[in-house]
Amino acid sequence: MEPTFVPGLPSPVPAHLPDLQNLLLAVPVLLFSMVAHEYAHGYAALRQGDPTAYQLGRLTWNPVKHIDPFLTILMPVMLYWASNGAFMFGGAKPVPVNPRNYRNYRRGDIIVSLAGVATNLLLVPLCAVVIVLLGLIGRGIPAAIDTLSLLQVMMVQGVVFNLVLAIFNLIPIPPLDGSHVFKYLLPPAWALRYQQLGRYGIVILLILLWTDIGRPVFSAWMKPVTVVAQSTMEIVFPFFLKSPYAMGIG
């Protein structure tokens, strides 16, 4: 499961924009971020010797192939409207992999598991660079400022969404990506029992998100998202175009 937005983090859209416009701006960005994450898993698996995702047609940038009707569409929209735009959580269909095909099981498992996280982290500075380029273009073409400003807003979303995806998926709770690395730090008997927690993974995550005991732990884990996002916004702030769409960003 891939998260798209969680409470307590910097908002990736200007709060004054209408809810529908916020949602329309956010959907393509979060969808691309989730597809990039899943594509990276499939591509890494192929490089490690497992062609499962490729053979099943999942090694593609076509978002339709990665959409789960409930996780990708219904759940994020329902949570967005129920929380007045403060909370979104959803997921893409996991790319199928067969670790038994890896040339080196342990190495392949770690590489494939971290490929999605690495891709999301790579997209963060890429979005920041695009914000700067759009700002420079807008200064030279004033008539395009409103359009370019909306694109800048979407890139701000890209910074936050991809940070959330990366840091969240590193949580060492099965079946999240971080668990595939953490299990190798445990003795074999402990690692087996640890992986069996995967059947309760969603329940544990909900406890972290919604209980008084879990929220402080979750907030502490996600703190790098706030720190890095705010630092990135400070760097690119001089390049934000002066437009009603960009009010409240930075």
Which residues are catalytic, by number?
Answer: 38
Burial of 76 (0-12, 13-18, 19+ CB in 10 A): buried
Give CA–CA dist 150/194, Å, rounded: 45
Cα dihedral 150, 153, 159, 162 sign: negative
Place of tokens 């269909």: 93
Q: Are 10 and 230 in contact (CB under 8 A)?
A: yes
Pairing relationship of beta strands 3-5 and 88-89 according to DSSP bridges = antiparallel
Give CA–CA dist 116/40, Å, rounded: 5
Structure token digits, residue 141: 């073409």
Place of tokens 């190798």: 184
Residue 37: what are its φ and ψ, rounded to 5°?
-60, -50
